[in-house]
Structure 1
């Protein structure tokens, strides 16, 4: 690793032993991937994936104390992934007790985060790039993030540059102000080694399309053709929402950190097929292939025919437009079915700032009468225990399906369950 004199001084302890350890870790991390130098982090704000105060994460809290005591603070303000708890989300007394035990360090950990440089007291969301949150990178920014759905969105839709880092490593990049240059930070690393030909007769479900892509290409970079048939060639808010969900599925069902969409995403618009590496492999996706992918998902409920006890909509968190859409869809669906309240307890999740703005609308007042909960919880953390994890939960999120025993349904199927209590026949 070729360090600048300033970087070498930090490694030698010029700003204390904690900072020296941070830089040493980044050097070792970069050398694992063949990085030859460090590059400055230029994004306005960082993001930390570790948002949960699990009692078993003692080493994390000790590390934070060591950094704070030695003044090795983040050089950036930062947002954090969603909180694991929300008393408004349905849970029985035993589940609530288990949450209290599991996340007993939540308050203490959040105090550490504030001391380290938390953007604000409610900067807890996996969609930190939403305009309402205030952590949206610019084209070309170098980031030090780890949240997989945020990394793939920032790289692909916004044209920033970020590797799929691990938790804590991301914070070290924000503390030091630089990260090792390799992978998706380089021009060569952003070349597509797969061509995805979307040849469907109807608009593909974003979650299933992303799942198919992720499981095929794994950590490689795909260049996706054919989506402009349904999405057009402008990065409208609706298109960004579609790509958000598609990308999250590709990042969780595989390990995609960057994709290019022909004629739509910034680098594809600018460079076109020059982004495709020689000898790129081809994967054709049609309606039959999407159905094959979906039918391969295992049903992990103890009783496959059980009635759902909870529906989570929004993993990653919903945008403001998606939140408004779901509110209208649920209310209209209930009216059409002759019901006044949701037939399956339902939670819509969104960033705190997005949810707060929505709660001031007429749409929210209408939705609130249906029993639907609007929350900023992390659905993954809710299901990350044996009591909640064993519940028959339905979701429109392929990410949540992948990391839990939740069962995936399309938007229309989830809506039917929520409004009628029955699946689509």
Structure 2
């Protein structure tokens, strides 16, 4: 790897032994992937590790070394969601105990994050790029992000440049101010190796189409054709939400770090099908393919016919537009069936800053939702499901990311809504 004079000086200890270790870590990471040099960062990092989990003691001890050496990131960074939200979620006593035991180092870790340069205590979200959160890169910005759903959105929708970095690597890059130049930082690696033709009768649910694309291309770059006529432009909040959830599903059901949508995403608008490599492969996705895919999703509940107890919505975190829409949809459905409260625990997850904005700018909807028993929180649904006390319970979700990572059961939006608003007898019949 070719290093600048300053980078070589840092490796030689010009800013201390700990900084030398930090940069050596970044260099060795880049060498594994054949990086030719280190690129300077154009924006803050986004850190994926947000949980002070038992078993991570070596990580927390390492962070203490960084802090004792006086090191912090070059710019204030954002972090993935906290593993629990004691103020926003109605936990059972068993759940609360299990979560606090598993994430026993949470207070210690959050103090470390503040010392290392975290933006503020409202920076815990997998949707760091949202305006309310404030870590929004510009087109062409070189980044060192982790969190697969954030990376794929930044690359695809915002035209920034980041690899799917590993936990702690992104933090080391943020402290050093450099990231290895390989993979999706390079023009050639951003070309599409798959042409995905969507031939469905209507716009598919984002999370289902994303699942199909992720499974088809795995870690390659897809060029998706056929959905742009059903979407608005990139200034449309509904289009942004669709691409957010689509990308999260491609990244979790596969390992996609960048996708292009014909006539819509920035690089596809600029280059069209010239983005396709000469040897690209073609995949066709139709209604039957999506129906077969969903039918094949496993049910991991202890009893397949159990009555669901919890609905988790917001993985990745909901945008403000989604939080408003989902809340109003639930309240309307409750009114239609003559209910005043939800039929099961219903948790909507969004960034702390998004929840705060919703609470102040849409106070009537917020208060009505809380009165109806809806939990509006900022926890990570996936980390919530990590304990035996939570993983063993029947949970439903409309998120393909959450389905992939946990024992939660995937249902379409309308099916989740039916169970949230339906009387218990009807819910049991629908589950069967």
Q: Is the 8 A contact 2:233 2:239 kept in 1?
A: no
Q: Secondary structure at the match of 2:45?
A: strand
Partner of residue 405, structure 2: 403
Moved more, 230-239 or 61-70: 230-239
Partner of residue 256, structure 1: 256
Deviations along 1:385-416, whole A, 9 cap, x unmatched?
A: 11101110000110000000000011111111
Partner of residue 107, structure 1: 107
Q: Is the 8 A contact 1:312 1:395 kept in 2?
A: yes
Aligned partners of 1:106 and 1:318: how far apart in 2? 23
RMSD: 1.1
1:233 Cα deviation (Å)? 4.5
Moved more, 224-233 or 302-311: 224-233
Partner of residue 117, structure 1: 117
What is the correspondence of 1:158-169 to structure 2 with a 5 Å cutoff? Answer: 158-169=158-169
Partner of residue 367, structure 1: 369
Q: Is the 8 A contact 1:235 1:265 kept in 2?
A: no
Q: Which stretches in structure 2 are left out of the alignment for 5+ residues?
A: none
Aligned partners of 2:179 and 2:267: how far apart in 1? 22
Aligned partners of 2:70 and 2:115: how far apart in 1? 10
Deviations along 1:323-382, whole A, 9 cap, x unmatched?
A: 000111000000111111100110000000100111122111221111000000001111
What is the correspondence of 1:9-408 to structure 2 with a 5 Å cutoff? Answer: 9-43=9-43, 45-87=44-86, 88-360=88-360, 361-408=363-410
1:203 Cα deviation (Å)? 1.3
Q: TM-score, normalised by structure 1?
A: 0.98
Q: Is the 8 A contact 2:306 2:431 kept in 1?
A: no
Q: Secondary structure at the match of 1:405?
A: coil
1:55 Cα deviation (Å)? 2.3
1:111 Cα deviation (Å)? 0.7
Q: Is the 8 A contact 1:75 1:175 kept in 2?
A: yes
Q: Secondary structure at the match of 2:39?
A: strand
Aligned partners of 1:2 and 1:82: how far apart in 2? 37
Q: Which stretches in structure 1 are left out of the alignment for 5+ residues?
A: none
Q: Secondary structure at the match of 2:77?
A: strand
1:282 Cα deviation (Å)? 0.4
Aligned partners of 1:296 and 1:33: how far apart in 2? 35
Stretches (4+) displaced over 2 A: 232-235, 421-425
Deviations along 1:213-260, whole A, 9 cap, x unmatched?
A: 001101100000011121144441110100000000000000000000
Aligned partners of 1:388 and 1:150: how far apart in 2? 25
Aligned partners of 2:122 and 2:228: how far apart in 1? 36
Deviations along 1:245-281, whole A, 9 cap, x unmatched?
A: 0000000000000000000000101111111111100
Aligned partners of 2:121 and 2:322: how far apart in 1? 24
Q: TM-score, normalised by structure 2?
A: 0.96
Q: Is the 8 A contact 2:222 2:258 kept in 1?
A: yes
Aligned partners of 2:228 and 2:65: how far apart in 1? 50
Aligned partners of 1:314 and 1:12: how far apart in 2? 46
Deviations along 1:182-237, whole A, 9 cap, x unmatched?
A: 00000001000000000000110100000000011011000000111211444411
Aligned partners of 1:294 and 1:389: how far apart in 2? 21
Aligned partners of 1:189 and 1:238: how far apart in 2? 29
Aligned partners of 1:6 and 1:273: how far apart in 2? 41
Q: Is the 8 A contact 1:235 1:264 kept in 2?
A: no
